[in-house]
Chain A
Amino acid sequence: MKSKLWFPLPLLIMLLAFQGEVFAQEQTMSIVKTSALKLIDNAKAYDGHQVEITGELIGDVMVRGDYAWISILNEGTAISAWIEKSMLPPDTSIGGYARSGDIVSLRGIFHRACPEHGGDLDIHATSLELVSKGASVNHPVNTSVVLISLTLLVIGVILVSAWRRRERNEQ
């Protein structure tokens, strides 16, 4: 009786183990749409998972051989991705002071401490989709700022001259 009871146990264990593997595979294979901040805050939970984030390309495209580092600004937090150069859209617009960057949707594998890149927190991109193109940003000169600038400049020069004159007289 006892042996009969024990008989299905290894099978059960194997089944559970197998189920666990399937679950783990599903976890790895399924793509989690998330934000940069959630990735950083839950880095251990997301480590090694396929993720998708959408945001603005900012800063620089730092080309390293066939690959490049890009940065994506998502909800105020920037995160870097290691991407094949060929995946980047032609005429990429990178966000900065004078331009808004392309809005892209990036999919890839998230690393809490990437073994390939010295422990950096990064995403290894598997695909990049352009959502919308960036454009130049106009920063018009404010006329009142110009007028106040010139006025203060004149006042400053007059006061400095008065101070220097007083110094000379006292000497």
Chain B
Amino acid sequence: MKSSARLDDIRIIVYFSGKILIGMSLIYWIPIFTSLVSGEYKVMFDFILSFGLILSVGAGFTLLGKAIKRPSWTHGMVTAAVSWIMAMILAAFPYWLSGHYLSYLDCMFDVMSGLTTTGLVMIQDLDHISNGLNMWRHLLTFVGGQGIVVLALAIFVDGTGGSYGFYVGEGKDERLFPSVTHTVSSIWRISLVYLVIGTALLWVAGIAIGLSPGRAFLHGLWVYMAAWSTGGFAPMSQSILYYHSALYELLTFLFFMVGSFNFALHSAVIRGNRKELFRNIETLSFGTTMMILSFIVGWALMKLKVYPGIGMLIRKGYYQLASAHTTTGFMTIYANQFANEWGNVGLVAMVVAMLIGGSACSTAGGFKGLRIGILFKAILQDTKRLLNPSSAISIEKFHYHGERTLADQQVRNAASIVLLYVVMFTAVVLATCAAGYPIMESIFEVASITGNVGLTIGVTSPSMPTILKYIYIFVMWAGRLEFMAILASIGFAASLFKRSRR
């Protein structure tokens, strides 16, 4: 009886994973169209083949599985985790067919890096890739920022009861509206409106800095998608340095800052509640940590005379710092310059920024400003309790879309997630050191991987040990889904194993 119940669970998970893959297959038509318009017919067929593959697998899953009952919280969590792995395996196919990768593992690494909005790459000869493939890279990061489950929920609005579990499984827990379907469609609406505005601005800027109108449009679209999703992919290997433009840097800075904000905050501001921007615990937390870290990075770079003027310090130092703190990963310096020029104090500040990351329910990674704010408030409350008489009742409040009273459960949840991040970060730093990389470089790179940032100091490359590639893929996945879906999947797999042994 129990084993048939487990089989039902598996069928539900397989069914909804299939639906998510079918939802994802629709985005393949964008690179197919791009290749067709660009006259890249070989690439076009690579994408048609990959589309056929994901559609067949997705539809096969929906046929093998069945929505026997309303999906529970666990089903949602496990489905999110499984569909991310399946998406990684299948979306790597166009990369593999392009011939720009040394192994299929490298292809999967880049897909996971894109979907999780990390931005580290294994691709070979990036400066010679087709428009179709560049579109695919940036599209993956744009869709991944919103979430592939969010995409599927937005498409299959009518057939997915109990969808909150899927939504939370993908690392988002903020309801913009009471209904999840209304929330996910709102997330997509916000993203698409910004996409049009952002692309238009970068298009004009691209023409102004000397790109041809066609190239300016494509670069504007791609760079915007990577900026908004705090992804960090760029069409050229030199990242944003390629453009040598203060205007382009300013626009990308604005877009990735905005992209790192909570979707609920966007929704509140759009609905006219601009005060929320200045009162919200997340923006206050982000502003505070950004200010402290700016001071440290500024001091470190000035002490080492890395940049001889304040203008340069702002354009180089603060741009990389903001890129790290928002978990974007755009660079206007070379990776090796971090290791050779920035010094340990500057690098440690960058590591802290990358680990903290942006806002909850945004495209950003890291611990998230909300949790840092909550933990800070908890420490403040505990300090007050120590100083006040034991009979005094200490109530701590914070503003997060309305006034809220700090509850122990919130503190516990925030502390658990931060602790999991720290444990994972420490373990992977040890693994990277064991693979032979220096300690400071290992810390920097692993912070970038854990926070889904994408800045690199040079550790991530096709020549790195294979085991480290697997570990980094896992870390990107776990960091993006914020552990809950992974833990639920491990629990689910363990329960299956336990029953099979009985």
| Residues of A that sit less than 8 Å from B by CB | 40-41, 43-44, 58-64, 68-69, 71, 73, 76-78, 80, 82, 95-98, 112-113, 115, 117-122, 139-142, 145-146, 148-157, 159-160, 162-163, 166-167
Contacts and interface: CB of A to CB of B under 8 A. Distances in A.
Interface string B14-55: 000010001001000000000000011111011011011101
B63 A162 contact: yes
B52 A142 contact: no
A149 B316 contact: no
B138 to A, nearest CB: 15
Nearest to B46: A145
26 contacts: A40-B337, A43-B340, A59-B127, A60-B211, A60-B215, A69-B210, A78-B238, A78-B242, A80-B241, A97-B129, A113-B306, A120-B244, A121-B334, A139-B40, A139-B130, A141-B41, A149-B45, A153-B52, A155-B56, A156-B25, A156-B55, A156-B56, A159-B55, A159-B63, A160-B59, A163-B62
A159 B60 contact: yes
A98 B360 CA distance: 42
A160 B23 CA distance: 12
Given A119-B307, A141-B41, 8 more contacts: A59-B127, A60-B212, A119-B311, A149-B52, A152-B51, A159-B59, A159-B63, A162-B59
A119 B334 contact: no
B315 interface: yes
Given A118-B312, A160-B59, A61 B210 contact: yes
Contacts of A154: 52
Interface in B296-336: 306-309, 311-313, 315-316, 332-334, 336
A60 B243 CA distance: 10
Interface residues of B, number: 58
Contact of B51 (A64, A120, A153): A153
B125 interface: yes
Contact of B97 (A145, A153, A160): A145
A145 B334 CA distance: 38
Contacts of B211: 60, 62
A122 B241 CA distance: 10
A99 to B, nearest CB: 9
Contact of A113 (B45, B55, B308, B340): B308
B336 A41 contact: yes
A77 B55 CA distance: 38
B244 A117 contact: yes
Interface centre among B128, B311, B337 (most CB of A within 10 A): B128
Contacts of B55: 152-153, 156-157, 159-160
A59 B127 CA distance: 7
A95 B211 CA distance: 15
Nearest to A76: B125
B243 A155 contact: no
Nearest to B216: A60
Given A80-B238, A141-B41, A145-B46, A69 B244 contact: yes
A141 B244 contact: no
Interface string B222-257: 000000000000001110011110100000000000
Nearest to A99: B128
Nearest to B41: A141
A40 B340 CA distance: 9
A120 B48 CA distance: 41
Contact of A58 (B49, B51, B127, B313): B127
A20 B25 CA distance: 67
Contacts of A96: 127-128
A41 B40 CA distance: 36
B382 interface: no
B209 interface: yes
